Structure 1
Amino acid sequence: MPKISQKGQLMPSSPIRKLVPYAEQAYKDGKTVYHLNIGQPDIKTPEVALDAVRVHSLDILAYTRSEGSEDYRKKIAQYYAKNNINVSHTDIIVTTGGSEALLFAFGSVMDSDDEIIIPEPFYANYNGFSIASDIKVVPVISKIEDNFALPPIEEFEKLITDKTKAILICNPGNPTGYLYSREEIKKLAVIVKKHDLFLIADEVYREFVYEGNEFYSIMQEEGLEDYAIMIDSVSKRYSMCGARIGYLVSKNKEVIQTALKFAQARLSPPTLAQIASEAALNTPQSYFDDVIVEYEKRRNTLIRELKTIDGLKVAEPKGAFYCIVELPIKNADHFAQWLLESYDYNKETVMVAPAAGFYSTPNVGLNQIRIAYVLNEQSLIRAVHILKEALKVYPNN
């Protein structure tokens, strides 16, 4: 029998999605499942985006340009200008989700066995993207005791070798909700210029910043034009995860020209999704204002309720809509499966994402979970209560 590739064997299962069969069985068993495991907002997609698809006048669902339609990219550039990011439409490549933008970035700036430094815990798929690209993740560890604050910049420099090609951050962070300060971005800018590295920033949660804190993009930092690569997406901003539209943005023309070759190889991003995403740019500011108020209330409610559980630690996020929780257990993978397979509280249970998959360092985060607060406040209160009761009877503490 032919053998599966080593790369395929190394590819990790998603800590977010691997428990889906157990959740489906829980539904079949008549249980209600509160989904705290995945960043799928329950906020409605803007009507202006859905209407654009409903009333389109296309006769043929044809390819678009590999970099995305010119009109759409010009409007994206206008959106960025409103957010104090000055880029041209020629600095933008429209991709099939932020995931493809990251793959294009990795393929454009790194070769096999090159290294990329990433503060961990990080978005779990960075592990998968690095394996698919045959590159090595070098983690900078942050800790829940420090609210996952960025480690001292000196820790980054200690890890730089002749194989290091880039530093990757997620800002605000998934899964921690950590928000990078302007000063931290400036320190990272100094490092990448000093060592001639790329700074890649996954900024898909830029709108989700709380308590009046400032979001500062790497694209706003002067002098980073040749070093900065920004990853973006419509998924969270407009609650359009299924559109699968993202962007790779850089003022480095060589990066854009190289990424375009990858884009040409996959032909073009999806046409109808671009129509919806272009229309979404007309979403009124009031939509975002209401969303931020709602998520800040959810965050506050979730943190308050979690703190009532004995032995639990939780990091308080400043952005995005996730938090990491450390539970008084040994193995969160087993616990998450047990919740779905063997436990219910009045025919209700919860689905969480084990956090070990958000690390690349072995045996770290084994007793942690990521919670996405994408449910309404009452559902969050109920879900935490179920979690609290489950911990009282969980047999493998």
Structure 2
Amino acid sequence: MPNLSDKGVYLPPSPIRKLVPYAEKAKSRGIKVYHLNIGQPDICTPQVAVDAVKNISDHVFEYGHSAGNESYRRKLVKYYESVGIDVTADDLMITVGGSEAIFMAMTICLNPGDEVLVPEPFYANYNGFAMEAGVNIKPISSTIANDFALPPMEDFERLITPRTKAILICNPNNPTGYVYSEEEYAQLRDIVLRHDLYLMADEVYREFCYDGTQCISVMNLKGIEQNVVMIDSVSKRYSMCGVRLGTLVSRNKAIIAAALRMGQARLCPPYLAQVAAEAALDTPASYFREVHDEYAARRNCIVEALNKIEGVYCPMPKGSFYSIVKLPIDSSERFAQWLLEEFEYKGQTVMLAPATGFYASCYLGHDEVRIAYVIKREDLLAAAECLREALKVYPGRKTTR
């Protein structure tokens, strides 16, 4: 038979999901697995969204507009106004999840062989999107040692080559929980202007900032309006991951027009998903206050518990619902698999996401994991206790001073 394409053969599997079979086997042995590996919120989807889908009885599920239903886009505009982002419905392209929006942005703005600068560690699937688009990711060094801040301007600019065409950031960040400062955004703006680059920002965790930290949107940077693409999604904000509905936002009309042409592969966003998402935009503000406070409490709970374990360091994240945790281990991948295959404590174990999956380079992340604090506080404490006991007996534990 004919060979598969290079992309069909070489696209990497998700580093987060490849441990799932081991977790399933652990469960089949009767072991309770605490999932700290994936950003699947356990907080209920707003009731208004659930009711909107339940109450559909006699509608025809017709094709919608390729850019998304106009009523939904107009309502999204009002949401963006409420968070200080000034756009029109024509600046929005509704996508199948934020993932499609990121892939569209890369494919539309970059040619095969072009480079996109991305602060590492970064969301694992950026690698896959870049490979599909034929784009090369060039990592910007950002480590737990410097709290994941961007490097100084001169170090940043040394990375730029004639092939560099874009910068991609995630703010608040997945997987670190870092929130970029006003000064860092000013630096990004200057670099974009000086080198005429695109600035793409994955802002799906906008609502999750803590301790008074403010999330700045790239849509509010002056003088680079035509260079900016924002990615958004309802998945995390409304606990609607399975709805698979995102948004590509740009004031550059050429980008939106190109996105419409790319959308031919799926014709239009799913009708039912837009019904649910449009209703979710009517969610009372009290819902967000409760969700925000709960995640802040979960963050405090798990960070405090982990930092009490000998040899473990977990920085306090300012946003999202993730943190990178440094462990006294030889390999994050081996440790994560060992937890599921060989370890149990009182019939329980933990599923982690090895940090090596969030880096473009191989010299980082070997003793670091990403945790997602999206489960109940009592389960977070139980997971931390499991990790404490696991580190006592793990064969590849490093000696700590």
1:2 Cα deviation (Å)?
Answer: 4.0
Deviates more, 1:122-131 or 1:218-227: 218-227
In 2, distance between residues paired with 1:152 and 1:172?
Answer: 20
Residue-pair matches, total: 397
1:234 Cα deviation (Å)?
Answer: 0.1
Deviates more, 1:313-322 or 1:82-91: 313-322
Matched, 1:311 2:311: yes
Instruction: Look up the match of 1:125.
Output: 125
Instruction: Look up the match of 1:289.
Output: 289
State the SS of the aligned residue for 2:39.
Answer: coil
Instruction: Look up the match of 1:204.
Output: 204
In 2, distance between residues paired with 1:75 and 1:368?
Answer: 41
State the SS of the aligned residue for 2:317.
Answer: coil
In 2, distance between residues paired with 1:243 and 1:136?
Answer: 30
Instruction: Look up the match of 2:271.
Output: 271
Deviates more, 1:242-251 or 1:331-340: 331-340
In 1, distance between residues paired with 2:53 and 2:260?
Answer: 26
Matched, 1:390 2:390: yes
Q: Cα RMSD over matched residues?
A: 1.1
TM-score normalised according to structure 2 size: 0.97
Q: Where in structure 2 are the equivalents of 1:183-222 lying within 5 Å?
A: 183-222=183-222
Whether the aligned pair in 2 keeps the contact of 1:144 and 1:314 (CA below 8 Å) is no
Q: 1:220-262 CA deviation, whole Å, 9 max, x = no partner? A: 1121211110000000000000000000000011111111111
Q: Where in structure 2 are the equivalents of 1:344-363 lying within 5 Å?
A: 344-363=344-363
1:89 Cα deviation (Å)?
Answer: 0.3
1:58 Cα deviation (Å)?
Answer: 4.2
In 2, distance between residues paired with 1:4 and 1:388?
Answer: 45
Instruction: Look up the match of 2:151.
Output: 151
1:57 Cα deviation (Å)?
Answer: 4.0
Name structure 2 gaps, 5 residues minimum.
Answer: none
Matched, 1:374 2:379: no
State the SS of the aligned residue for 1:323.
Answer: strand
Instruction: Look up the match of 2:177.
Output: 177
Matched, 1:18 2:47: no
Instruction: Look up the match of 1:98.
Output: 98
Instruction: Look up the match of 1:51.
Output: 51
Q: 1:62-84 CA deviation, whole Å, 9 max, x = no partner? A: 22111100111011011001111
Consecutive aligned runs of 4 or more in structure 1 exceeding 6 Å deviation: none
Whether the aligned pair in 2 keeps the contact of 1:330 and 1:366 (CA below 8 Å) is yes
1:9 Cα deviation (Å)?
Answer: 3.4
In 1, distance between residues paired with 2:215 and 2:386?
Answer: 35
Whether the aligned pair in 2 keeps the contact of 1:80 and 1:87 (CA below 8 Å) is yes
State the SS of the aligned residue for 2:3.
Answer: coil
Deviates more, 1:56-65 or 1:228-237: 56-65
Provide the identity percentage: 55
Name structure 1 gaps, 5 residues minimum.
Answer: none
In 2, distance between residues paired with 1:55 and 1:353?
Answer: 38
Whether the aligned pair in 2 keeps the contact of 1:218 and 1:224 (CA below 8 Å) is no
Q: 1:165-196 CA deviation, whole Å, 9 max, x = no partner? A: 10000000000000011221121011111111
Deviates more, 1:128-137 or 1:360-369: 360-369
